Amino acid sequence: MPARKRAEEARAHLPGLLDAAERGESTIITRHGKDVAAITPVEDYRKSAKQASLLPLAGTMRGYWGENPVKTIGELHDEWER
């Protein structure tokens, strides 16, 4: 369970929160009791932000993706990467 800090606390203790992130710990920042942000280790962020592969969709909705669904999905993926 990530630690929770009010925005004022987080502002005052930012260096410590960054040290915690380097150790692999996440912190949720709240404002008026509502979650508004998170300080999280960059590796956790990169894992969650990574584009999921579209290849598992090949073969679903037969005919919807055209004559060659793998090619169509690959083209869509390439377009997304631009």
82-61-54 Cα angle (round to 5): 30
Tens digit of each residue's pLDDT (9 = 90 or more) over 17-64: 999 999 999 999 999 999 999 999 999 988 887 777 777 766 656 667
The reported pLDDT for the residue numbered 60 is 59
Of 46, 57, 1, 9, the closest CA to residue 29 belongs to 9
Query: Could you tell me the domains of the chain?
Result: 3-48 (3.40.1620.10), 51-81 (no CATH)
66 — pLDDT class (breaks 50, 70, 90): confident
81 — pLDDT class (breaks 50, 70, 90): confident
Q: Please answer whether residues 21 and 31 qualify as being in contact, where contact means their C-beta atoms are separated by less than 8 angstroms.
A: no
Q: pTM value?
A: 0.58
